[in-house]
Amino acid sequence: MKDGHNIDLLPEIKLIQEARAGNKESFCKLYGLYKDKLYRYALYRLGNPADAEDAVSECVLAAWKGIRSLKSDGAFSSWIFRILHNICAGMLRKEISSREGLETAGNELDTAGEANVQTSVEIAEALATLKDDEREIVLLSVISGLTSREISEATGLTSGAVRSKLSRSLTKLRAVLS
């Protein structure tokens, strides 16, 4: 296909191919494309900036070590977010008390203004009302910017189930926040 979306992916696909061939510079450039999304996702999952940084570091190291096992160049984003998801889940299992960190994350995201902090806390509290799988889908979509297909690959759900859960979850969040 020659739509704009696929053309935009060509430089990224080239970087993925070069990284799979062992090119560290290309992998570093890929990391540059994903680092902010990975961090935001980890921060919302873990609720603590230091833990989020640790999770992203661990994820990037694991991705570099396993890049040759990536089966499809087009699956890179869902693959790397799956790695990060698993790392975050492991960290949460080890320190279950860090679940309170969602509120802390909201406070640390924007300390500039009290109104913004309050909004962040309200969003964190609203997210906490969702089931784990619902929150996961919302975070992957809204925070990380993944498509339903990419979320499907990362979670093992069908694209239709992802879209349905995302829609229901966003409706729940709107109700809680209104």
Length of the chain: 178
The average pLDDT across 66-94 equals 87
Per-residue pLDDT, 94: 72
Per-residue pLDDT, 146: 82
Task: Tell me the per-residue pLDDT of 26-59, one tens digit each, with 9 for 90 and over.
Answer: 999 999 999 999 999 998 888 889 889 999 999 9
Minimum mean pLDDT range among 108-117, 150-159, 163-172: 108-117
The whole-angstrom separation of Cα 87 and Cα 58 is 8
Per-residue pLDDT, 23: 93
Per-residue pLDDT, 99: 38
The average pLDDT across 54-75 equals 91
Name which residue leads in pLDDT, 113 or 68: 68
- pLDDT above 90 coverage of the chain, percent: 28
Domains of the chain, start order: 4-177 (1.10.1740.10)
* Whether this model's pTM surpasses 0.85: no
Tokens representing 82? 């799956």
Task: Tell me the per-residue pLDDT of 83-103, one tens digit each, with 9 for 90 and over.
Answer: 998 898 888 777 654 334 444
With CA atoms as reference, report the closest residue to 89 among 117, 124, 68, 58.
58
SS3 154: helix
Tokens representing 153? 């690959």
The average pLDDT across 108-137 equals 68
Mean per-residue pLDDT over the chain, rounded: 80
Per-residue pLDDT, 101: 44
Tell the residue number behind the tokens 């833990």, with chain if given.
51
The average pLDDT across 169-178 equals 83
The whole-angstrom separation of Cα 120 and Cα 92 is 21
